[in-house]
Structure 1
Amino acid sequence: MPIRARDRSPDAARAPGRGASLLTGSGQIAVAMMLMNVATYGFTITTARVIGPVPYGAFFALMNLVLIVSVVMLGLQATAARRISADPAHVGQIEREILRVSLRAALLLGGVLLLAAPLVDRLLDLDSLTTAGLAALAVVPMTMTGAQMGILQGERRWRELAVMYVLAGVPRLLIGLALILWQPTEVMAFLGVTLGYYVPFLYGLTVLRHPRESGASHERHGFWPIIKESVVNSQALFAYFALTNIDMLVGRSILDSHDSGLYAAGLIVSRAVMFLPQFVVVIAFPSMSTSLNPARALVGSMAIVGGLGGACVLGTALLPDVVLVFAGGREYDEVTGLLWVFALLGTCMAILQLLVYSVLARQGALSMALVWVGLLVVVGVASTTVSTVTGLLSVVLTVELVLLVVLLAISVVKLRQRSAAQ
């Protein structure tokens, strides 16, 4: 009798033929995340063209606010995936508690943003209390979707997780495009984003509608321990996102408008290279969270991410004019010679993201603190010593390379200690 989706467990996912299923899972997640990113990028570009510069500025500012809040969603996803992968015997309890935590976190964030709508409206210069209020409606399903994705990720239910990733991008494009073509305003644009968040959330409710049997339970998977880990994971991911995005903010303050525009064009290449191997992190994280050879999972994943990044760096170095077309065009040709360095920066960001998730998998407090240190170093050094595009790029790349090497060294030592203790 075939196993139904709701009856599958992490142990079933590790059944014979795991190598083939892992490959299939990697392909499904890779395609799904590519579709999600293309749809999201397509909606962003289309919105900029349809609604015009002033409304788009308000829309983009609110999207950045939601992006910051999304670290809670990612923290919940990492917590669910790590706990289920590391302790599959308690999957029923973990699933139940993570959904409880996500519901309360979602309502809390939504309530805070709703009460803060007048302040958000003023700070972001939206001139629309309705638009500010939509952020509260958007973060509720977004936050709960993180827990749903984490459950599916931890249980290695790649097909359902792939569908959720597709639904996180494509409905936003379709719904949002229809709304802004009807009324080209920032309110309609963000309403499309808000409605788009509800689609994967409703799908998640459907695939997880039959809760697992309670089974074994333990106090370490209780309500408060899960909250504590989710907070720790969220702050670590916030540090990573801040580190990989602070250079543009610093650049706006230390470079003139022309050079900051050149740097922003180069960052398009960095972001593309960084996002390309994200599916590897999604697939590898459950394996890094188990006691069954996490070092092998980390090394294998780094090889894939490094290989993809290396190919991008080589391609950018050989065909910089072609890459420039996707980085803004001829208006930014002054940065052509540096595009391969931006691609190298993107590769470092991708590997660093993998290492940060490896840190989350083993809950390494020291490594998490080092990410914050890296952020402070970038801000401090760049703000006081840099005045050119090349200088800013050099500082950011150097700090991230050093942090990468240090985190890798710590991970190797910790994983060896774990292996020796088994």
Structure 2
Amino acid sequence: MSDSRGGAPVRSRPRLPAVLTSAGARSGLVLLVCSLAGHVGNYLYYVLAARLLTPAEFAEVSAITGLATIAFMPATGVQAALARDTAALEARGLDDQARALGRAVARRMAVVQAAVLAVLVLATPAAVAVLDLGSAWVWLVGAAWLVLGMGLYVGLGSRQGREQFGRVAAVLGGPMGVFRPLFLVPLALVAGVVGALGAMVAATVVGLAVLAERRRDRPVDTVVPPLPDVRTALVALGAFASLTNIDLLVGKVTLGPTEAGLYASAALLGKVALYGPSALALLLLPKVTARLESGLSVRRPALLVMAATVLTGGVVAAAIALAPASLVTGVFGAAYAGAYSLAAPLAVAMTLLALVHVHIMVSLARRDRVLIGVVALAAAAQAAGLLLLGSSPGRIVLVTTVVAATTLAVHELTSPYGLVRLALREPAARRPTPVPDRVPSEETR
């Protein structure tokens, strides 16, 4: 190639592969960076909580947050279904209907939140007794966070489906990340466990404010499409929440207070392998849905996210295994030295479950229920196994690992979208059920 001004040869600059310079790749990078920042902030929250509280008090925080995470996953089921249907509407140019759908789901969710709050308040005496909590206020503040968090996830679903990944990234990095430790320190110093959970409440309120739609974004008399069928997503992500968090609840009930706190700190280290690449699954769901609506292949984006998930988990597990035992004591304090031997095996188990999470997102986008049933059965099997065998931290890790590996093996045998089979060949095209263009609005029904 020569320069037309002087004839001198001009060297072409090397170009990055298109897959790395696309809008999807840039969105994924922004989400990944903000998600990692958020996870660092969330991780710091637990580290500071472990430092500020005793192991027994930290076990209370971990039990409440584990229970809330399980409760959040049905809400993320609504989020996933809303994101999928919103992305389908956006792909067909029905932007106003996509926004109207988000508002309609938020109204329904508000009714559910009110009902859940009432049930949790009534259950206070039983919850305090079963979880052996220090006071009723621990449960009540945790319940407030749980209910507000449900609304936060639904708000994320609407923005996710409309591919407003900047807003999603801001929430992941701030209210669901670095704001938590910022609020934690003063509140925990004043009110202990109640203050630590109060920090979650305060951060969630900020997140809801960030996601709130401005009035100018609300068109009048917009046709509202049918509400998403959330049953499959509820089952899938509710079961996944159980797979990744029921170990903390079982540990709190079956282990001694100090041993439960040690397991919770090890789980915190190991679950970096689960939460690190989780933002990529948020990106994958609307992308796969939009590509299916357009009749395009989903093989490349799905494989990229799966590979990134496995790589991230492998790096985390290796880093923990190669780190000195002083890692845990340096982070959490000398009282948590016994947790070190559990962290790397937990990271392996969480890497397997992170890959299950990616497969769930692809299945939800394809409206395929086979894997959903497998995950539901796996959650039941894990719960039964933990109750029967979870008398020690090592057995808890073993049961979770076996269940995760079995789930992936079954998916490989039953679906062309398993990691190995997807890498070998392009699956046959299969379009989801189309979303109706127009239906009567809520006002005229």
Question: Normalising to structure 1: TM-score of the pair?
Answer: 0.78
Q: Is the 8 A contact 2:329 2:337 kept in 1?
A: no
Alignment of 1:307 with 2:311, yes or no, is yes
Counterpart residue type for residue 190 of structure 1: L
2:177 is matched with: 169
**Structure 1 residues 294 and 125: alpha-carbon distance in aligned structure 2, compared to 1, 3 A threshold:** same
**Structure 1 residues 398 and 57: alpha-carbon distance in aligned structure 2, compared to 1, 3 A threshold:** closer
Q: Is the 8 A contact 1:355 1:408 kept in 2?
A: no
Structure 1 residues 142-180: Cα deviation after superposition (integer angstroms, max 9, x where no partner): 121112111111111111111111222333322232222
2:378 is matched with: 374
Q: Is the 8 A contact 2:39 2:276 kept in 1?
A: no
2:422 is matched with: none
Structure 2 matches for 1:13-412, cutoff 5 A? 19-53=21-55, 55-88=57-90, 89=94, 90-126=97-133, 128-165=135-172, 166-181=174-189, 183-206=190-213, 210-212=217-219, 217-218=224-225, 221-222=226-227, 226=228, 229-247=229-247, 267-290=267-290, 291=292, 292-316=296-320, 341-380=345-384, 393-412=397-416
**SS of structure 2 residue aligned to 1:156:** coil
- Which ranges in structure 2 are unaligned for 5 or more consecutive residues? 1-17, 419-425, 434-445
> Which shifted more, 156-165 or 379-388?
379-388
> Which shifted more, 88-97 or 344-353?
88-97
> 1:78: how far off?
0.8
Q: Is the 8 A contact 2:58 2:261 kept in 1?
A: no
Q: Is the 8 A contact 2:63 2:249 kept in 1?
A: no
**Structure 1 residues 50 and 316: alpha-carbon distance in aligned structure 2, compared to 1, 3 A threshold:** closer
Task: Tell me the distance in 1 between the aligned counterparts of 2:324 and 2:266.
Answer: 11
Q: Is the 8 A contact 1:111 1:136 kept in 2?
A: no
Structure 1 residues 312-342: Cα deviation after superposition (integer angstroms, max 9, x where no partner): 3454555565866678789758965x86544
Counterpart residue type for residue 64 of structure 1: G
Counterpart residue type for residue 303 of structure 1: A
> Which shifted more, 135-144 or 152-161?
135-144
Counterpart residue type for residue 122 of structure 2: L
Q: Is the 8 A contact 1:359 1:411 kept in 2?
A: no
Task: Tell me the distance in 2 between the aligned counterparts of 1:294 and 1:351.
Answer: 16
> 1:249: how far off?
5.6
Q: Is the 8 A contact 2:84 2:289 kept in 1?
A: yes
More helix by share: 1
Structure with higher Rg: it is 2
Counterpart residue type for residue 146 of structure 1: Y
**Structure 1 residues 45 and 296: alpha-carbon distance in aligned structure 2, compared to 1, 3 A threshold:** same
Task: Tell me the distance in 2 between the aligned counterparts of 1:58 and 1:334.
Answer: 17
Aligned length: 398
Alignment of 1:416 with 2:427, yes or no, is yes
Q: Is the 8 A contact 1:240 1:353 kept in 2?
A: yes
Structure 1 residues 3-35: Cα deviation after superposition (integer angstroms, max 9, x where no partner): xxxxxxxxxxxxx99953322222221222222
Counterpart residue type for residue 167 of structure 1: P
Structure 1 residues 328-357: Cα deviation after superposition (integer angstroms, max 9, x where no partner): 789758965x86544332321211111122
Counterpart residue type for residue 281 of structure 1: A
> Which shifted more, 203-212 or 357-366?
203-212
Counterpart residue type for residue 49 of structure 1: R
> 1:277: how far off?
0.9
Counterpart residue type for residue 300 of structure 1: L
- Which ranges in structure 1 are unaligned for 5 or more consecutive residues? 1-15
Task: Tell me the distance in 2 between the aligned counterparts of 1:384 and 1:347.
Answer: 24
**Structure 1 residues 189 and 388: alpha-carbon distance in aligned structure 2, compared to 1, 3 A threshold:** closer
Question: Normalising to structure 2: TM-score of the pair?
Answer: 0.75
1:10 is matched with: none
Task: Tell me the distance in 1 between the aligned counterparts of 2:134 and 2:263.
Answer: 30
Q: Is the 8 A contact 2:69 2:241 kept in 1?
A: no
